[in-house]
């Protein structure tokens, strides 16, 4: 009967002596199998236990016996469940046939052509009062037909679920206090929704969620396939002017903006943020969950470990480093034959290449798959990477600010047989694997990018990759969960994706392509995805356009440029601002002259940088309690004169989303305007010319100065075929120039390029400007002095 209507049926036969556990295991597998749309339990009554019935997923219970379906029937609302087949069969027949008799008349012959429904009471272990349909004369078994009909009904419901779902967002109410409590006090005062509830409200299916506790969950990338036909929403980029060492609140503005869009303008919106590094969390800057009444919650979970992505990156990065040193040691201490015998071991008398070794043979131009067929020269080419120690570019990483690891010596133990070398550590978020995580568009793409990472150069000048080392498959395994964005929420219950965390001064400084793409599908055509770029527009925003937009095809409809009166005063000639030191009086008292100077220099330049890419700019003035009305009005007026489409003061820190409603309206209007997006340079330009273009047009330099080392590295990369990659400048975030103490918009300087690295897997060339370091250090008084744990309540104190 199923075959006649096009249904595939599989019969699972268990042994007669099967246990309850075995039945539950089979049902659990069927519940998880996306191909199965209905399950019918044809079991002996003794095996239909409460545990068995409750295990069956209600949406696949086509016989309507699960507790939830029974409850819906009793309540009179079977629209989302299934009516038991026997009951539905009775109703179907009663509606379509004539007479009804509770039992066949005793001693009478039955006319098999009559339209009479005969019912007989159930016997055995079945509850009294339930009737089985014996049948309508001349008709097939109605119970079976109803069960099949329920399979079709369940499939139709499943298909509807696969379509885009309108949001039903339940917002969390804010009651801002004055004075504003600490960030952690505000975070703890709000009870977040369960992440499963949040996911359901924004149209995620249960199978697309991998919860990590109550408050956060990974989202599976299958969502992109399910919603591939769904139009994207509007993408808004949050950048900033050149910050003080204290930061100017881009994350806070991002959160305040989405809270305003969703909670107050009733528009679907998603924030996409980077995962904070442990370095600044325990160093100078503190956490990155926003602040005041514009936060991601729980802020402790956001700032500490999250779902372990950075730990996965650290493990993967250091596996590559260990593989490099081990391979160099083994090549230096073994013959070709000994290396080959260990790399391709004999198992039960048979040698066989692994798939990753076959990939290396193909890159060497060898088509064989038989180890015994290699010549002595081919064996040597296969087993010897012949890495040049002086041209290794891969370093170990750790997610801590540790200045004493910037330059180290490895291999000093006697077991390493004198094969020591100088190397160093980077902070984990500077790892190329972090950049790959942020730029990959899927698991397959990430695997390819990991394979082509260049770790150094051979003595013959050939690039050596992670695939050559044989480690790329293992890296993909370590990163398979990290590639999924983490779902959290704001103080007002609006959704947030937290994913990837590259710094903008020493990497490309943006959250992941995947987080943006998933969010753009979820918000719908008229919704907004607000994504953040690190530090000033000259760094994070430029890399967003030049690297992330190129890699992903994403195009923002507007830029929100965050400014503060404090930072503008610094750029207008105010005294230095230092973390941990009291602010000078100039930053507390009204000073319109300093504000004007900062607007005419740094703010104007950062707006001009955005206009180089053809994107409209909305200036968001993040208001502090020391700002005066005159200073606020002056900044907004001068921002418009400098070319901003709109400029609005924002009070989200004190008021939550309600304090950024004006900004939300300005962003909505700017996003509706025509965009004329364009790239700053063509990738086919020589590497030197691309660096020069960024230095002159973005930073305002007269020219660049390449060190001999940088010149040689650029020549090597161009010879190796990497000329067409975009540029990712590693430069101080405290100035438009390479000199941190030069504020405003410096001119008349030459930008020094000390060295140039190549992140081939991530897909960019990586010049280091001046004395820029990829491993920060700790200050005299780090943040960790204030962080502690209450052993009784397990509450964390001191995070901000």
Give the residue numbers annotated as catalytic, written as ranges.
Answer: 250, 252, 274, 285, 504, 535, 624, 653
DSSP 104: P
* Three-state DSSP string of 568-627: HHHHCCCCCCCCCCCCCHHHCCCCHHHHHHHHHHHHHHHHHHHHHCCCCEEEEEECCCCC
Question: What is the Cα–Cα distance from 283 to 277, expressed in whole angstroms?
Answer: 10
> How many Cα atoms are found within 13 Å in the side-chain-facing hemisphere of 74?
7
Structure-token pair, residue 450: 């990991």
Q: Side-chain half-sphere of 156: how many Cα atoms within 13 Å?
A: 11
The residues, ordered by sequence, that sit 6+ positions from 99 with a Cβ below 8 Å of its Cβ are 114, 115, 116, 117
Strand partners, 392: 456
| CB count in 10 Å sphere of residue 537 | 30
CA dihedral 728, 729, 732, 738 (to 10 degrees): -170
Question: What are the strands, taking DSSP E only, across 29-110?
Answer: 99-101
Give DSSP secondary structure letters for 665-704.
HHHHHHHHS------SS-TTS-HHHHHHHIIIIII--SEE
- Integer Cα distance of 355 and 687 in angstroms: 35
Which residue, chain included where needed, has tokens 């036969």? 13
| The residue to which tokens 């959250």 are assigned | 511
Pairing of strands 217-219, 486-490: antiparallel
CA atoms within 13 A on the CB side of 282: 13
Both tokens of 26, joined, read: 């089979």
Planar angle of CA 699, 701, 707, nearest 5 degrees: 105
181: Cβ–Cβ under 8 A, 6 or more apart, which residues? 189
Q: Looking at residue 187, what DSSP letter applies?
A: H
**Which residues fall within 8 angstroms of residue 646, CB to CB, at 6 or more apart?**
618, 619, 640, 666, 669, 670
Angle 256-619-601 from CA coordinates, rounded to 5°? 135
Residue linked to tokens 């890699």: 551
Please list the residues that pair with 767 across neighbouring strands.
756
Q: Quick one: tokens of 285?
A: 């800057």
Label the pairing between strands 350-351 and 269-273. unpaired
- What is the spatial distance between Cα 373 and Cα 393, in angstroms, rounded to a whole number? 34
φ/ψ (deg, to 5) at 410? -115, 160
The span from the CA of 499 to the CA of 15, in Å, is 48
């Amino acid at each position: 009967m199923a075959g006649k209507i096009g249904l595939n049926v599989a019969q699972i036969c268990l042994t007669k002596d099967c246990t309850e556990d075995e039945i539950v295991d089979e049902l659990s597998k069927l519940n998880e199998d996306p191909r199965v749309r209905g399950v019918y339990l044809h079991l002996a009554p003794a095996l239909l236990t409460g545990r068995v019935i409750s295990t069956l997923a209600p949406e696949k219970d086509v016989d309507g016996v699960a507790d939830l379906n029974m409850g819906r029937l009793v309540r009179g609302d079977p629209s989302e469940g299934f009516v038991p087949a026997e009951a539905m069969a009775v109703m179907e027949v009663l509606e379509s046939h004539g007479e009804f008799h509770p039992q066949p008349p005793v001693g009478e012959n039955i006319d098999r052509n009559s339209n009479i429904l005969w019912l007989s009471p159930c016997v055995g272990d079945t509850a009294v009062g339930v009737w089985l349909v014996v049948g309508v004369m001349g008709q097939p078994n109605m119970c079976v037909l109803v069960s099949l009909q329920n399979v079709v009904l369940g499939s139709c419901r499943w298909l509807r679920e696969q379509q885009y779902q309108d949001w039903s967002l339940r917002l969390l109410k804010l009651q801002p206090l004055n004075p504003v409590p600490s960030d952690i006090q505000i975070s703890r005062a709000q009870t977040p929704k369960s992440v499963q509830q949040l996911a359901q409200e924004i149209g995620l299916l249960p199978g697309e969620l991998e919860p990590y506790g109550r408050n956060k969950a990974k989202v599976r990338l299958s969502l992109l396939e399910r919603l591939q036909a769904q139009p994207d929403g509007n993408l808004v980029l949050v950048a900033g002017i050149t910050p003080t060492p204290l930061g100017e609140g881009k994350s806070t503005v991002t959160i305040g903006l989405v809270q305003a869009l969703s909670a107050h303008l009733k528009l679907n919106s998603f924030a996409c943020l980077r995962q904070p590094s442990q370095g600044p969390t325990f160093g100078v800057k503190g956490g990155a969950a926003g602040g005041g009444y514009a936060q991601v919650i729980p802020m402790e979970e956001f700032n500490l470990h999250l779902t372990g992505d950075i730990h996965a990156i650290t493990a993967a990065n250091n596996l590559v480093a260990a593989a490099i040193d081990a391979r160099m040691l083994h090549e230096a201490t073994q013959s070709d034959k000994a290396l080959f015998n260990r790399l391709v071991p004999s198992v039960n008398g048979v040698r066989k290449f692994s798939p990753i070794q076959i990939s290396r043979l193909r890159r060497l131009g060898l088509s064989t798959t038989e180890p015994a067929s290699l010549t002595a020269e081919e064996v040597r080419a296969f087993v010897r990477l012949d890495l040049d120690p002086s041209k290794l570019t891969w370093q170990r990483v750790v997610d801590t600010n540790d200045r004493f690891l910037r330059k180290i010596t490895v291999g000093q133990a006697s077991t390493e047989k004198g094969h020591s070398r100088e190397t160093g550590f980077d902070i984990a978020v500077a790892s190329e694997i972090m950049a790959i995580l942020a730029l990959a568009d899927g698991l397959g793409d990430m695997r390819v990018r990991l394979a082509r990472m260049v770790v150094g150069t051979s003595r013959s000048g050939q690039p050596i990759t992670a695939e050559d080392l044989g480690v790329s498959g293992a890296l993909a395994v370590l990163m398979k969960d990290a590639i999924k964005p983490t779902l959290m929420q704001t103080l007002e219950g609006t959704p947030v994706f937290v994913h990837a965390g590259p710094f903008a001064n020493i990497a490309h400084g943006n959250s992941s392509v995947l987080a943006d793409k998933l969010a753009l599908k979820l918000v719908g055509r008229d919704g907004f995805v607000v994504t953040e770029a690190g530090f000033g527009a000259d760094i994070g925003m430029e890399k967003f356009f030049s690297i992330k937009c190129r890699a992903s095809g994403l195009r923002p409809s507007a830029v929100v440029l965050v400014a503060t009166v404090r930072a503008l005063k610094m750029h207008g000639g105010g005294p230095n601002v230092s973390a941990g030191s009291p602010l000078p009086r100039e930053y507390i008292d009204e000073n319109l002259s300093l504000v004007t100077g900062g607007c005419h220099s740094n703010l104007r330049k950062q707006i001009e940088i955005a206009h180089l890419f053809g994107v409209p700019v909305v200036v968001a003035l993040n208001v502090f309690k020391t700002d005066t009305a005159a200073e606020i009005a002056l900044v907004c007026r001068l921002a418009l004169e400098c070319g901003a489409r709109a400029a609005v003061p924002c009070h989200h820190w004190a008021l939550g989303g309600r304090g950024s409603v004006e900004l939300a309206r300005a962003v909505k209007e700017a996003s509706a305007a025509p965009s004329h997006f364009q790239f700053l340079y063509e990738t086919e330009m020589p590497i030197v010319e691309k660096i020069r273009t960024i230095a002159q047009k973005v930073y305002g330099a007269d020219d660049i100065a390449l060190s001999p080392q940088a010149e040689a590295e650029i020549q090597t990369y161009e010879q190796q075929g990497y000329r067409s990659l975009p540029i990712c400048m590693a430069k101080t975030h405290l100035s438009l120039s390479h000199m941190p103490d030069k504020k405003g918009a410096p001119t008349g300087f030459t930008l020094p390029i000390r060295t140039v690295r190549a992140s081939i897997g991530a897909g960019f060339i990586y010049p280091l400007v001046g004395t820029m370091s990829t491993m920060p250090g700790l200050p005299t008084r780090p943040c960790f002095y204030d962080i502690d744990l209450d052993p009784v309540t397990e509450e964390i104190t001191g995070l901000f």
